[in-house]
Structure 1
Amino acid sequence: MNSAGIFADAFERIHEAVHAAVDGLPPEDLNTRLDDGANSVAWLVWHLARVQDDHIADAAGTEQVWFTQDWESRFALPLERGSTGYGHTGAQAGSVTVESADLLLGYADAVHERTLDFVRGLDDSSLDRVVDDAWSPPVTLGVRLVSVIADDLQHAGQAAFVRGALERR
């Protein structure tokens, strides 16, 4: 297996974890926060998809599917244009609500497809390309992809935890 295959497999695992956390949940459970400082399943999955969308689009030199496929207006969130959830206050996180699992998964699926298209076309030498020189050392594509995978898996696991807590109540 080459690095493109490894990255594709990692993003497939995120996709599966997201669906396991969201499939079949009614909107009231998707939007429930276990307390005022906690994140809902909706926020966690929206956030992981937004970060993935933002970072992959930047690395690929493309626009985010959030904008090109008009997910921004479908979600109609009371947030700044382009918000990914990074640095959200509790009130901002609480404002991320969805009307259905289909909306949330539709966006996550669209991001997943774009991500797979991108990573499947990579070769090992492309992973050394610097994608963010604002850090020391500069961030390479390989490091950025690992960062997105790690962040997404954590949030998918958190969403699964919240789902489990809600199902046990």
Structure 2
Amino acid sequence: MKYFGEGLSESHKELNSIIRKKDKIEEAKTLFLDIHKKLHLSNISKEGGNEVDQLFADLETWEYSVMPTSKDETIAWVVWHIARIEDLTMGILVAEGEQLFNEDWKQRMKAPITDSGNALDDNGIMNLSKSLVIEELLRYRSAVGMRTRQIVSDLRPGDMVRKVTPQAIEKIRLEGGVTDEEDSKWLLDYWGGKDVAGLLLMPPTRHMMLHINDCFKWKEAIRAKKKLYLV
């Protein structure tokens, strides 16, 4: 069931149809940035409120660390997960530079891990969720989003079909962006098979659309006062 992002899937399909066309580079970048700003707090684009603002505006701290059912994660885990993946893929793979995450951000967020959290079990998800300083987590995600927008704005026509390099993939591994567990390290093979366009179509767009939709669903479930799996 869709809880969020009316029209985003259609915009994403349009982006997919033009993103590798050299003569459509500016149109593709504009469309990407329009989709992307709707998946972050509005402070990254300074264009007024949006649905993501509404999601987080009245969430209480305890609600970030609720696992509604055994099939779910938590809102805090989602924010961490999508922010870390956007940071790693955009900063290291697309820009061929650095991730924003460093020891300072780790301490500010009181993060017990450095990877994307893909391989965490329920206890690990709950520990991460209860450990994180939510205000700093949201600041980190916004910083990542703003940096992504600059990276994409600077792309040139030939960049969209540029392949991810093995050196960049190895950098993610060495910096702890993934773990050696199967549910985590598969990401390296997945990202390693992409070009820049393929990355733009998933981590900072489609991937976030799916996870943010879950957060809206879980917020509704939490406030329905039904029996919750883990709190």
**TM-score band, normalised by the shorter chain?**
0.7 to 0.9
Q: Partner of 1:66: helix, strand, or coil? A: coil
In the alignment, the residues of structure 2 paired with residue 9 and residue 84 of structure 1 have an alpha-carbon distance, to the nearest angstrom, of: 25
Structure 1 match to 2:76: 42
2:121 is equivalent to residue 86 of structure 1: no
| Matched residue, 2:154 | 121
% same residue:
21
Contact 2:108 2:133 in 1 (8 A): no
5 Å-filtered alignment, 1:85-164, equals: 85-97=117-129, 98-100=132-134, 102-132=135-165, 134=189, 138-148=193-203, 149-164=205-220
Change (3 A) 1:19 1:95: farther
Moved more, 59-68 or 116-125: 59-68
Unaligned runs of 5+ in 1: none
Asked if 1:7 corresponds to 2:39, the answer is no
Larger Rg: 2
Q: How many residues align?
A: 165
Residues 137 and 60 of structure 1: CA distance in aligned 2, closer, same or farther (over 3 Å): closer
Counterpart of 2:125, as a letter, is A
Q: State the Cα distance separating 1:132 from its structure 2 match.
A: 4.9
**TM-score normalised to the size of structure 1?**
0.86
When normalised by structure 2's length, the TM-score is 0.64
CA RMSD of aligned residues (A): 2.3
Q: Which amino acid aligns with 1:85?
A: G
Give 3-state SS (helix, strand or coil) of 1:50's partner: helix
Structure 1 residue 138 displacement after superposition: 3.3
